[in-house]
Structure 1
């Protein structure tokens, strides 16, 4: 067949027609799906419109230049997905794929930020409470709109129940999304809360002096109330009637002085409350601060009205590294009693304030404290051990009394203590007493441990006996501890439990022939986790 050369390319006659057909096939191949050929990836987006309201009655208007960020709720590679709203308040963000997302909206300029708070989708100012947007195969284009509300301003006054202005009252607006705006009322009782995020909020007024002067109040929307309540703050609201008439707290105000009348700061104190059910005097449950006198020697406490209480100054604050006082003072119970048994019982009525001063006699020179350390796992059956540290001046004598939930454990007076089943679930610690002639005796607590279940020592059992039908096999459990441990047995024939075979020995029967025997030993003891161990296979049985 004759061939010709055209532009340096050798081709057969009719090749132009074949090329055209091939080109059509290629184009069709690009347009039509075909098995084994990857399709174009689906595009996933989150888009929406951001608006703002200057007040509760104002119309929502589009907000431009708002920064919007898409936050994947599964671990990502660190890539950020964000956009800014246009003049119509619209945005669109390409999502990395199917999944759950939160969306954060933040003003892009100072003028906007001065008026509106950042929020998450779902109108929450906290990521924790933000709503979830789901991007799915069925809904690859999700919508997340947001409406920013203008900050509110709250103004008011704090007075006592008679209407006399009182200052130093902390007023805080706590938003449901985690925001908090606070102020302290001035000497005339006035305060202003600026830039309060609109929405559900709790507006609280409490005494900021730690002097137990007044009962905490909550604004109901019209007045202050002693009962916790929430209010809804409208966007852009300017409220001037957020007033509180505070009721006097039921309280004790006690002052510690030396014999010459000098105020004693950093003196510990306690208030015992009678439990009418148990008849026991219980220690106060105070979190977050030590019970000690302030710089003016004052101690403040708010007992429950109608309850019987005993008050005492106890000079038991020892802090390593802090300036150690030269002298220590003896314990005194109200009213100047030297022992708890002789203390005068107080029972306050609602709103009553009892004030008194007690002069504490000297107890001697002060020891120099040291940190104590307690080692141990806190598990039943293990030891807790105390290193009291190096108190001074040396030499000093140490003694110990271990306690369970604050009650002395009989006979537990060594530096270490073996945790018993009775301790499970309780708080165990020790009182460390440090003594030296000529010095005030120090009594300090060690760190408490919450006692957890112990672990049994559980060896794997063995089997002895002749591997023949009619013979008796015996389980050898090994030494479980700490003794005594209750042991139970279950025999198995080739992995299947043998009904009724729950003794420490087992007589082989015809059905066991050709099989392997095992025995499982289960140990139990009060205060310990039950353990089970299985022997190695024993067989085959003849």
Structure 2
């Protein structure tokens, strides 16, 4: 806070800018054959008491040029300043009792300067600076599991109406997840948190955007605690599903559904029937049912994990009961022999998967089943003349569904 009358401040800078606009000539930062300038002033508290030990720093274009410390009367004088119209001045209390500010009562978080012009061979007297009691924001950043998060960047934003500007001061949480931002001028702020290790970001208190954060109005000397929890419980927003035919030997594939946040790690566990022991459940995104699963339903249990977040889980709907695998015909049986009246036809066994199958045979003539013709041989009679003959072969195996195939037909000749 500054009170009193300004001397040799922005008027000179404004005049020089006008000259530049008219002449097109650059404004020199120093005058040839002239010496450096100086600046002096006084620093007090809001009651007018002098403040000794305040560091007064003169900056140009972001670089420190000279600085001094106020004496017992609150007075400072900074010399050997190269002439320039664009100095900005910072007032900082090393003890941290008073809020840091820029001349002329500017908040460092506002990023607006009151320039101080320094003339050659002259001492500029600045308006007295009244420093306010410092406010502080402190807190702890932890994961949803309660573990401290070190290395989180903590930023401070000055709020003015519907706009915000960021302070040049940012903190990083220590090994215990704690941070402290001190020497703040009374104002309204929002605190932001960003964890570079995970990319998680929020604004106090649980705001997803800057202006969605909760503003903290600080008065002089106030201390406010703003803890933050980065992350939360991972949430399933669309249930997992299973694709594939629930059959012995046929692969079932898990689809994880949808989760929040994005980019989490997912693991899969398959639950067969009424099994309640997760320790022996198959894992992975694909499961192939075995004969032991016949008649049981299958579900997939999905777990989402991420650093700093509590795990989330979701369970799919059950599949249909697992069916036995079907016997598979590899090589079709065929009719052998001469198809003439009085001759004998035979049917080959064919090849099957699994190999150990039981076969049964039924002969058909002209599409009609021949009674008692269930052996591998058939003697052709005159009644069969000119008709088509074929065989239906049925194969069965343990824990498999039976398979039925037909041979190709042959016509009976004389």
TM-score when scaled to structure 1? 0.29
Q: Which structure ranks higher in relative contact order (CA pairs < 8 Å, sequence separation ≥ 6)?
A: 2
For the pair shown, the structure with the greater C-alpha radius of gyration is: 2
